[in-house]
Amino acid sequence: PLDFMEIKHFGFIEQVTFANDLINNLVNQVKQLQNQVTSMEVKLERRKTEDEPPRKCLRTQLEEVWSIDLSRRKASVFLEVLRLQTTKKAVKLRDYPDEESEVRSFLQCLSYTSQLKLCSDVLVRMTQAKALMFRPPVILDELFLTDSGAQQPDRTTSIILSSLHFLLRHWNVQCLNLTESKIVARSLVDLLYHQGSLTIRVDRRFLLRLLHCCDVRELHQDAAVLLSALHHKLDFSSYDALDLTADTTSLYLSSQDCRVVFTAIHRAHTPVQVTLQDCEIEDRGVELLFPVLHTVSLRCSKALLLHLLDLVDVGTETERVRRAVALSRALSGEMDLSETRLNLQTFKSLALVLEYSEGLSELDLSHCQLTDQHVELLLPHLHKPRVIDLSHNLITDASARSLYHIVSVNSHIQTV
């Protein structure tokens, strides 16, 4: 084991003796990442389901996190290590120094840090350090607040929130990550009015609780502020991070939940991206989506898309057309119904949506057991998509010839 580390700095070599945990931590991180990659490959194979959206880069999801305890007077050494790195590092702060000189060294470390992860107890200790108030503002890409583990009394929760407010006033934090925090949603309402371009990251259950809090009449304005902090994205999927330990149980949205969510969208007065994957929605709740569908960009499961198509064919002719137009716009140019069974009634709704669609880039109907009767319903509208996938169906040569004619006279169709 290494008992010291040599650092080349300003032309001379300093032998700095410090606890082995810094080096051992880096070695352990490599081992953990190797194990994570192996486990992740297995998990990705298992997650090839119909509802899975495009995944983020694995390199981003498996970003190494440097865990450090600065209560042992190692801040200056840690600063030198960070200066030698070619990229910013994510840092988990296990404990905080008491001496003011160590605090100053730690604050310099933040210039080389992409994410600072700390529990609420460490947060409170940090804000008690006077050095925080007497230096230029700290610029931090992401502040990741976690729970300390123990049940917090109301007084402690109030102290944590006060500390968080203090830090956000004195630091320039781009993103506040609360995905592992158990702070009561109602207590965070004041954060919505934080000065500056603060982005908030929360998990889908906490997001739902926040929206319910904002549904109180006195807090209606907070819903618009919350959506702004979320960059006008409401993600109710469980695929935001490829974490093997994450809760992937299905989320159930009642009609009351949907009313709260869609009311917030209506008050936003700006387009909102809504992701409804890996969640169950009450039938009445699905109907509530249509009045705001024209203002959203929708990513949803195939089951929900089928349900929406069934609801298109409800009401008067004017209502059916209005719903078809709204759904076609919300899908943002892509429609994937591959590997689903479609009855003729659903297909008629699909044909109506295609009739009023503009800018449709891709239509995937592969592995749907389509027959010539299905294709005949779509033929008048198949000139619209640029990419059409009708592979692995029960289409005869007669329909194939009709498809060939459509492609030959519409040069913008790229792939069939």
Task: Determine the Cα–Cα distance for residues 81 and 93; give it in Å rounded to an integer.
Answer: 15
Q: Is 248 left (phi over 0), alpha (psi -120 to 50) or beta?
A: alpha
CATH 3.80.10.10: does it fit domain 335-416?
yes
Q: Give the residue carrying structure tokens 């009445």.
A: 284
Q: Which two tokens stand for residue 103?
A: 């605090």
Residue 126 near residue 164 (C-beta atoms within 8 A): no
Task: Determine the Cα–Cα distance for residues 156 and 142; give it in Å rounded to an integer.
Answer: 24
Q: What is the pLDDT of residue 5?
A: 41
Q: Which two tokens stand for residue 130?
A: 């006077």
Task: Determine the Cα–Cα distance for residues 271 and 228; give it in Å rounded to an integer.
Answer: 11
Contacts for 308 with CB less than 8 Å, ≥ 6 apart: 286, 289, 300, 327
335-416: same fold as 16-40+57-199? yes
- DSSP E strands in 248-382: the ranges are 251-253, 272-276, 279-281, 296-300, 334-336, 362-364
Q: What is the pLDDT of residue 235?
A: 94
Task: Determine the Cα–Cα distance for residues 400 and 387; give it in Å rounded to an integer.
Answer: 16
For residue 398, give the H/E element and its range.
helix 397-409
Q: What is the pLDDT of residue 416?
A: 63
Q: What is the pLDDT of residue 15?
A: 41
Q: What is the pLDDT of residue 325?
A: 92
16-40+57-199, CATH topology level: 3.80.10
DSSP secondary structure, 244-262, as one string: TTS--PPEEE-HHHHHHHH
**Residue 340: exposure state from Cβ atoms within 10 A (0-12, 13-18, ≥19):** middle
Residue 265 near residue 223 (C-beta atoms within 8 A): no
Residue 382 near residue 357 (C-beta atoms within 8 A): no
Q: What is the pLDDT of residue 49?
A: 41
Q: Are strands 233-235 and 272-276 parallel, antiparallel or unpaired?
A: parallel
Partners of 118 in the β-ladder? 93, 145
Helices within 84-219 (DSSP H only): 100-109, 120-127, 154-170, 204-214
Task: Determine the Cα–Cα distance for residues 85 and 168; give it in Å rounded to an integer.
Answer: 27
Amino acid at 220: H
Residue by residue, pLDDT tens for the chain (416 residues) are 333 343 334 333 344 444 455 555 655 655 555 555 445 444 444 444 444 444 433 334 445 889 888 877 778 888 888 888 889 999 999 888 778 788 888 888 888 999 999 999 899 888 887 666 666 778 899 999 998 766 556 667 888 888 998 888 888 899 999 999 888 787 776 677 665 678 899 999 999 999 998 887 666 677 888 888 899 999 998 754 445 445 566 799 999 999 999 989 988 888 999 999 889 999 999 999 999 999 999 999 999 999 999 999 888 999 999 999 999 999 988 899 999 998 888 999 999 999 988 878 899 999 999 999 999 999 999 888 889 999 999 999 999 999 988 888 877 777 66
Contacts for 199 with CB less than 8 Å, ≥ 6 apart: 174, 175, 176, 229, 230, 231
Amino acid at 388: I
Sorted by where each begins, the domain ranges of the chain are 16-40+57-199, 202-239+249-300, 335-416
